[in-house]
Amino acid sequence: MPSAHASPPRLRVLDQGSTARSLSRKDGRGHPAALKIGLAPEHDAGIRREAEMAALLKHPALLPILASGSDEAGRAWLLLPLLSGKTLADESWPAEVLVEALTPVADALDLMHSKGWGTPISSRATYYMAPKPIL
């Protein structure tokens, strides 16, 4: 996984949780990407741990980390592919569609927990309704 020690350019805010903010940008090949950066220095260790765990866990329902690093102030960041499409929050989905779409997500969470990695609660906007949902 590539690592860098320069500030990645910050663009529009995509989402914000209690510990991190996701911003839009492009990856090294010009593809849409999401830059995740902690809201405060005390969240940096968790972001670095997320990068380490993601390098160990491979599952089709988990996003790969394209790059990670820290800016000149030492703030940790991750770069992930940016997905597009409808999310769980966009509309009301039939139960059978939800079961089919979220089964791979449940499998990925099970894998993460089996490796001893607890996961934060994610918003409904995190889960994209696609043939293979990705966390």
List the CATH number of the domain containing 26: 1.10.510.10
Helix (H) or strand (E) holding 70: strand 67-70
Query: Residue 84 pLDDT > 70, yes or no?
Result: yes
Tell me which residue range forms the domain holding 58: 3-126
Question: Could you tell me the pLDDT band of residue 42, with boundaries at 50, 70 and 90?
Answer: very high
Give the total number of structural domains in the chain: 1
Question: Average pLDDT for residues 36-46, to the nearest whole number?
Answer: 90
Residue 135 lies in a domain: no
Q: Is residue 110 part of a domain?
A: yes
Give the per-residue pLDDT at 76.
92
pLDDT > 70: percent of the chain: 79
Query: Comparing 134 with 85, which gets the higher pLDDT?
Result: 85
Question: Is residue 135 pLDDT above 70, yes or no?
Answer: no
